[in-house]
Amino acid sequence: MKWNFEGKNAFITGGASGIGRQIAMDMASNGASVAILDMNEELGNKTVEELKKAGNGKAIFLKGSVSDKEGVEKLVAQAMTEIGDFDFLINCAGVLRDFLVSRFNEKFWDFTIDVNLKGVAIVSQAFVTKWVNESRAKAKEKGEKYLPVLENKPRVIVNIASLAAEGNAGQVAYSASKAGVVGMTLTMAKELARYNIRSHAVKPTLIDTPILGELLEKDEGKFKKYYDGRIPFGIGQTSYVSDPVCFLCSEGAYFINGSLIPINGGKMDGL
């Protein structure tokens, strides 16, 4: 799809693979400079090479974990030095560790919550603290407590949640982490609108990416057939998530804050 992201800068966690990579490619090929933060160095470097070919903007890879607060703060500072100020933050890094509540697994619980929920908070705060401080400093120069909203640079945060936020058998930790992301997004939308920062979450159904591991291939495609049958428009592709994310970052979405977009393939009752 065509968007106008000329002169815009995007910071995308989990941008080395799957949905995050697609968002990075779509933004870069429509004019944006992109920084991706990911644990996977090999894929991260490969994606950056592709981003450079796709567009005229800058593209950098930052190796790190979203749940490492000190590391994230250093990497965000590095990204700002190398690319400049950011317009968009896309919190996309995520992990999947499935178990039933009756088989509660503390190690998997902590890991999932650390990456999917705490990671979104850690990366968001690294940007938001800077943006809010910058706004407050400008207001102070004018002898005001707050800058008039529209005097702040417009910025957008999009968090990649999941339809599992509405509950999904076998995904206790994952659904809790994504429901947390939804709550956090609404809180950020309420706190940050006064600084001209809009916050959104998208909630995809099943999308064919490496996070699914062998799920779609195993048992002679049994699960693939099952999910293809359950989702009216079939299992999703990464562009089905990237397109709405790009819309939320575009000028056309300027008047929208705090949206929770179900990317549900036509299915109205959860995953």
Ligand X SMILES: NC(=O)c1ccc[n+]([C@@H]2O[C@H](COP(=O)([O-])OP(=O)(O)OC[C@H]3O[C@@H](n4cnc5c(N)ncnc54)[C@H](O)[C@@H]3O)[C@@H](O)[C@H]2O)c1
Point out the residues that are catalytic: 174
We find the least distance from the C-beta atom of residue 194 to ligand X, in angstroms, to be 28
Toward ligand X, which CB reaches closer, 17 or 33? 17
Q: With contact defined as beta carbons under 8 Å apart, do 13 and 206 qualify?
A: no
By beta-carbon proximity to ligand X, the closer residue of 80 and 211 is 211
Cα distance between residue 78 and residue 73, in whole Å: 9
How far from 216 is each of 108, 129, 224, CA to CA, in Å? 22, 41, 5
Q: Does 180 bind ligand X (CB under 6 A)?
A: no
**From the CB of 148, what's the least distance to ligand X, in Å?**
35
> From CA 194, how far away is CA 261, in angstroms rounded?
22
Number of residues near ligand X (by CB under 6 A): 29
Contacting ligand X within 83-122 (CB under 6 A): 92-95, 115, 119
Q: Between 209 and 248, how does the x/- string for binding to ligand X read (CB under 6 A)?
A: xxxx------------------------------------
Scan residues 10-39 and list those touching ligand X (CB under 6 A): 13-14, 16-20, 37-39
CB–CB of 91/13 below 8 Å?
yes
Query: Going by C-beta distance under 8 Å and a sequence separation of 6 or more, which residues neighbour residue 185?
Result: 157, 159, 161, 199, 200, 201, 258, 260
Minimum Å gap between C-beta 133 and ligand X is 25
